[in-house]
Chain A
Amino acid sequence: MKRQLTLHVNGRAHRVEAATHHTLLEVLRRELRLMGAREGCGVGMCGACTVLIDGQPVSSCLMLASEVRGRPIETVEGLADGDRLHPIQQAFVEQTAFQCSFCTPGMIMATKALLAENPDPTDEEITDYLAGNLCRCGSYLNIVAAVKSAAARLRQSAPA
């Protein structure tokens, strides 16, 4: 049975229909057509479906849509300001921090949470934090470089 619920995604409220067993990932993709979060494994092990809820990274394949009613949800689609990429996205482009890019939105959202907590992470802190985000193409070295570059950029633009 489907029910109406309201999701707050990227700063906007959306009325959607979802069955009680539908995950947040399914609803983001099917109802809201937000295709950045992706199912890589369906069991919360790969991180390709990572979105932020209350600023924290979660596997949207493990959350029921009904669980996150009313809470702020951020997806990769909310990062860029029109044509202006977010500094993390810009860094991922410049470092080519991807290959097939299926994992990239999840990687970027996890990075956003990391840099909010720790604006100047070491290599080890980056790999620890992102260990739950897998990249089957093996772009890990470029991702670490992109995260460091994004961190530097964000520190520069942040008010002292």
Chain B
Amino acid sequence: MVLQEQEPGTSGPLVGQALPYLDAVERVTGAVPYTLNFELPGMLHVKLLRSPHAHARIRRIDASAAEQLPGVAYVLTGPKLRELPVNPYYGVVILDKPIVAIDKVRYVGDIVAAVVAVDEDTAAEALDQIEVEYEELPAVFDAEEALRLGAPLLHEQMPPQRATFADIIVSREPGTNLCNHFKLRKGDVAEGFRQADHVFEDVYSTPAAQHCPFEPHVVLAQWERDGRLSVWSSTQTPSSVRADLADLFRLPQSKVRVLTATLGGAYGAKSYIHLEPLTAVLALATRKPVKLALNRGEEFLEITKHPSKFYMKTGVTKDGKITAREIVAYWSAGAYADISPRLIKNGGFCSPGPYVIPHIKVDSYAAYTNLPPAGAFRGYGAPQAHWAGECQMDDIARALGIDPVELRLRNALHDGDTFATSEHMHDVHFEEILRHTAAQIDWGKPKRPAPPGKAVGRGVALALKSTVTPSTSSAALRVESDGSLTVLSSTVEMGQGSKGVLAQIAAEVFGVPYDRVRVVDPDTDITPYDQSTTSSRSTFSMGTAVQYAAEDARNQIRELAGKLMEAAPQDVEVAGGRAFVSGSPERGMTISEVLLRSRYQQVLGNGTYVTEGGLDPETGQGVAAVHWHHAAGAAEVEVDLATGQVEVTRYHTDVYVGRTVNPRNADLQNAGSVILGLGQTFYEEMLYDNGQLTNGNFADYMLPSFEDLPRAMTNRLVEHPGGRGEAHGLGETAVPPVSASIGNAIRDAIGVRLHELPITPEKVLRALLEQRGEEVNEE
């Protein structure tokens, strides 16, 4: 099927066009080859036995009856793990997670044993035959409590740290549950508070949530005859998974191959190493290919969003200039570190907000708790941080009698200002996006009249988010003898449309139609290194690498064409699928002819994009981000005064995009971010009873549906005025302002501040009753 109506040989700007997904036909015919659909000849299936206790010592485990069942090939338990030639502990930053539990379980759902069998039914039946004796231990579920003296200790020995990514700073203390402490020190907060006319102190919190990618985590593993390991994994980070597996099995990285197909959603859940070590160990023990796919209930136990608690202290002058912000943040990391050490750093340094503040102190703590591990979740700590900071900004504005938009504008960062990290900000547009966003809900004009029994309110929020820095992306681009382009990239297509975006960038360099480009799936044997498909970094970092690779390949074509046409390479132009002498388009030939007549057949271009930066481990000063994603959100709500029900009647977001590659994809990212934010604001919350998750299914854990959309929902992509700005990734940008703008709108409507997400009707109603001085009926 022709995706794009364009005459062959014509060229035009492709970057900026709303083109369909490159694989759109597969997407509407049910033919997307998700890892979930993969099978290997003779493969075995896995089911997992999980801990019923939040914290317990394993006294005894006996899987001998299970192993005897017909169809069962193998059962892995802690004692057997220790006999295998593998490091039993893994983790992207800290080696704290056993492949299956050894000695102890640390949360309800911790993997205790894995059964490998001919099919899933057989494996599931065998689980009942495994006997485990536990000795329960005291457990801790709250990050702040976990850091108190005498709290139950999750990891008695401090697990070793690995050198993974250059930006990660780890500060721990032996004998505590501290997983990481990030410090930011700028100026002198004591002095800043002395200069303040008013000091505001508030506490905000957010709950655990789950990403709920519709395709769960899926891994297939197979050991090859030559001793190499092949792993097919639904991961956002194939390069990182390869490195981690190589370490675990003490293999050179070249002996590990990670292949990643299109993902059925990820939102951060599939970042870094998860079930690959277990699946590879089971394949090793059985000498067979093995497939492990989680079910929905298990997905809730694999990885979560960090519950957070923020203590925000802000000093302001009477005319609304912020003099100091002191922030203490607690993040519940769950039982294992995953990427917590980095996330709480990024959530920490963005928590002062997009403002000029001379004196800042941030202490951001990740604590081990007896809950499922927490990791990357769309927004990466910024939604939690800005929920706190932006709610407080509104309360400050109201206390000082200053308009909330005006208060933000008096403090907002502009080009050349220094941020909390002391880096000089460039290409910032907070003032423009805030003014425009507020105007979309008629800010400054009278509120529209409320329907009977309801109150109307409006609120705004402003947010910034980093992109991981430093980071590296490499790409290669092969020009085929038929003149088409093949992009080799390890960026993972997880629904964001990265294949199309990279194809647009490559096609534009050559002036060939979009559908003359193929983008291959990540395969660490073939596609070059990429740090990760995370942090809204791919359009910018991988896009730049692909552009460099395309330019490199184009230069090679110019060389070859120059020789064939007896022209200097610098006089050869490549456009519209042809190479020709500048100024005389008739003196030329197709790219295919260049490759065939030169007998090169193909050329391969390479491109690498590396960014620089990093923070001082003691002060958090330095360069946190090569560029900053920024967004403003504005909400209008109606609050039902009898039921506490909140309806978002209008929502608008402005995001800074720099340069738009595909406006329809960009709109989808923004709409998706806002809708995710609505779920986080109003109902998404993992509920625990003594560490036991009570709503780990889609009947009890609500996701936003068609019926939950605001009556009007709009977004604007703000481009660099010069037209050639850096193309920002947009995967997360619009998420962080959602909750705070809605919280601020509710406060505007009913005069009540809610400090804890989610904002349920019960909480709103309780607040309304308390405000009226009425008894709160606990029923």
Query: A residues touching B (Cβ–Cβ < 8 Å)?
Result: 19, 34-43, 45-46, 48, 75-77, 79-80, 83, 85, 89, 92-94, 96, 98-105, 108, 126-128, 130-134, 136-144
> Which residues of chain A have C-beta atoms less than 8 A from B674's C-beta?
138
Contact in complex: A142, B296 (CB < 8 Å): no
- CB-CB contacts of B674-707 with A at 8 A, as 1s and 0s? 1110000000000000000000011100011111
Known contacts A42-B296, A99-B495, A141-B709; A80/B29 CB under 8 A: yes
Contact in complex: A46, B698 (CB < 8 Å): yes
Q: A46-B703, A96-B24 are in contact. List 10 more A-B contacts (CB 8 A).
A: A36-B31, A76-B29, A92-B27, A96-B497, A100-B213, A100-B263, A101-B495, A137-B495, A139-B671, A142-B671
Closest partner residue, chain A, to B713 (CB atom): A141
- Report B217-245 residues with CB < 8 Å from chain A CB: none
- CB-CB contacts of B492-534 with A at 8 A, as 1s and 0s? 0011110000000000000000000000000000000000000
> Which residues of chain B have C-beta atoms less than 8 A from A94's C-beta?
20
Q: 22 pairs across A/B with beta carbons < 8 Å?
A: A34-B30, A35-B30, A38-B264, A41-B699, A42-B295, A43-B296, A43-B698, A46-B703, A77-B30, A98-B21, A99-B672, A100-B494, A101-B264, A102-B34, A104-B30, A127-B709, A128-B706, A134-B703, A137-B495, A138-B673, A138-B675, A144-B706
- CB-CB contacts of B714-731 with A at 8 A, as 1s and 0s? 000000000000000000
> Which residues of chain A have C-beta atoms less than 8 A from B494's C-beta?
100
Known contacts A99-B668, A100-B495, A141-B709; A93/B214 CB under 8 A: no
Contact in complex: B665, A96 (CB < 8 Å): yes
Known contacts A38-B264, A141-B713; A96/B30 CB under 8 A: no
Q: How far is the CA of A73 from the CA of B469 in the complex (A)?
A: 51
A104 partner, pick from B28, B263, B707, beta carbons under 8 A: B28
Contact in complex: B31, A48 (CB < 8 Å): no
Q: How far is the CA of A92 from the CA of B703 in the complex (A)?
A: 22
Known contacts A41-B697, A130-B706; A100/B215 CB under 8 A: yes
Contact in complex: A89, B668 (CB < 8 Å): no
> Which residues of chain B have C-beta atoms less than 8 A from A140's C-beta?
671, 675, 706, 709
> Which residues of chain A have C-beta atoms less than 8 A from B32's C-beta?
101-102
Smallest CB separation, A100 vs chain B (Å): 3
B296 partner, pick from A41, A104, A132, A133, beta carbons under 8 A: A41
Contact in complex: B705, A131 (CB < 8 Å): yes
> Which residues of chain B have C-beta atoms less than 8 A from A103's C-beta?
214
A93 partner, pick from B25, B31, B263, beta carbons under 8 A: B25
Closest partner residue, chain A, to B214 (CB atom): A102
> Which residues of chain A have C-beta atoms less than 8 A from B29's C-beta?
36, 76-77, 79-80, 85, 89
Smallest CB separation, A139 vs chain B (Å): 6
B265 contacts A by Cβ under 8 Å:
yes
- Report B196-217 residues with CB < 8 Å from chain A CB: 212-215
> Which residues of chain B have C-beta atoms less than 8 A from A102's C-beta?
32, 34, 213-215, 264-265, 495
Q: How far is the CA of A134 from the CA of B215 in the complex (A)?
A: 13
Contact in complex: B265, A100 (CB < 8 Å): yes
Closest partner residue, chain A, to B672 (CB atom): A138
Residues of B in contact with A, size category = 35 or more
Smallest CB separation, B648 vs chain A (Å): 14
Closest partner residue, chain A, to B493 (CB atom): A100
Q: How far is the CA of A80 from the CA of B28 in the complex (A)?
A: 10
Closest partner residue, chain B, to A47 (CB atom): B705
> Which residues of chain A have C-beta atoms less than 8 A from B131's C-beta?
none
Q: How far is the CA of A15 from the CA of B18 in the complex (A)?
A: 45
B163 contacts A by Cβ under 8 Å:
no
Contact in complex: A136, B707 (CB < 8 Å): no
B20 partner, pick from A93, A105, A139, beta carbons under 8 A: A93
Closest partner residue, chain B, to A130 (CB atom): B706
- CB-CB contacts of B1-19 with A at 8 A, as 1s and 0s? 1010000000000000010
B637 contacts A by Cβ under 8 Å:
no
B435 contacts A by Cβ under 8 Å:
no
Contact in complex: A45, B699 (CB < 8 Å): yes
> Which residues of chain B have C-beta atoms less than 8 A from A85's C-beta?
1, 25, 28-29
Q: How far is the CA of A139 from the CA of B672 in the complex (A)?
A: 6
Known contacts A127-B709, A137-B495; A101/B296 CB under 8 A: no
B267 partner, pick from A40, A93, A96, A136, beta carbons under 8 A: A136
Closest partner residue, chain B, to A126 (CB atom): B706
Known contacts A42-B295, A127-B706, A138-B674; A99/B214 CB under 8 A: no
Contact in complex: A99, B703 (CB < 8 Å): no
Contact in complex: A40, B672 (CB < 8 Å): no
List of 8 A-B pairs having minimum Cβ-Cβ separation, nearest first: A36-B30, A100-B495, A138-B675, A102-B264, A138-B672, A41-B698, A99-B495, A102-B214
Contact in complex: B28, A108 (CB < 8 Å): yes
Q: How far is the CA of A94 from the CA of B3 in the complex (A)?
A: 9
Q: How far is the CA of A108 from the CA of B30 in the complex (A)?
A: 10
Q: How far is the CA of A93 from the CA of B18 in the complex (A)?
A: 12
Q: How far is the CA of A53 from the CA of B674 in the complex (A)?
A: 35
> Which residues of chain B have C-beta atoms less than 8 A from A80's C-beta?
29
Q: How far is the CA of A96 from the CA of B28 in the complex (A)?
A: 10
> Which residues of chain A have C-beta atoms less than 8 A from B30's C-beta?
34-37, 75-77, 104-105
B247 contacts A by Cβ under 8 Å:
no
Smallest CB separation, A98 vs chain B (Å): 5
> Which residues of chain A have C-beta atoms less than 8 A from B262's C-beta?
100
> Which residues of chain B have C-beta atoms less than 8 A from A83's C-beta?
1
Q: How far is the CA of A147 from the CA of B116 in the complex (A)?
A: 44
Closest partner residue, chain A, to B23 (CB atom): A101
B121 contacts A by Cβ under 8 Å:
yes
> Which residues of chain A have C-beta atoms less than 8 A from B713's C-beta?
141
Closest partner residue, chain A, to B265 (CB atom): A100
Smallest CB separation, A14 vs chain B (Å): 17
B37 contacts A by Cβ under 8 Å:
yes
- Report B287-336 residues with CB < 8 Å from chain A CB: 295-296
Closest partner residue, chain B, to A142 (CB atom): B668
Contact in complex: A45, B215 (CB < 8 Å): no
B763 contacts A by Cβ under 8 Å:
no
B172 contacts A by Cβ under 8 Å:
no
> Which residues of chain B have C-beta atoms less than 8 A from A134's C-beta?
698, 703-705
Contact in complex: B27, A38 (CB < 8 Å): no
Smallest CB separation, B521 vs chain A (Å): 14
Smallest CB separation, A8 vs chain B (Å): 18
> Which residues of chain B have C-beta atoms less than 8 A from A38's C-beta?
36, 214-215, 264
Known contacts A75-B30, A96-B24; A43/B707 CB under 8 A: no
> Which residues of chain B have C-beta atoms less than 8 A from A142's C-beta?
664, 668, 671
Q: How far is the CA of A104 from the CA of B713 in the complex (A)?
A: 22
Closest partner residue, chain A, to B20 (CB atom): A93
- Report B160-217 residues with CB < 8 Å from chain A CB: 212-215
Q: How far is the CA of A45 from the CA of B296 in the complex (A)?
A: 12
Smallest CB separation, B530 vs chain A (Å): 19
Residue picked from A37, A101, A126, A127, most chain B C-beta under 10 Å: A101
> Which residues of chain A have C-beta atoms less than 8 A from B673's C-beta?
138
> Which residues of chain A have C-beta atoms less than 8 A from B706's C-beta?
126-128, 130-131, 133, 140, 143-144
> Which residues of chain A have C-beta atoms less than 8 A from B675's C-beta?
138, 140
> Which residues of chain B have C-beta atoms less than 8 A from A37's C-beta?
30
A43 partner, pick from B25, B212, B697, beta carbons under 8 A: B697
Smallest CB separation, B80 vs chain A (Å): 30
- Report B16-72 residues with CB < 8 Å from chain A CB: 18, 20-21, 24-32, 34, 36-37
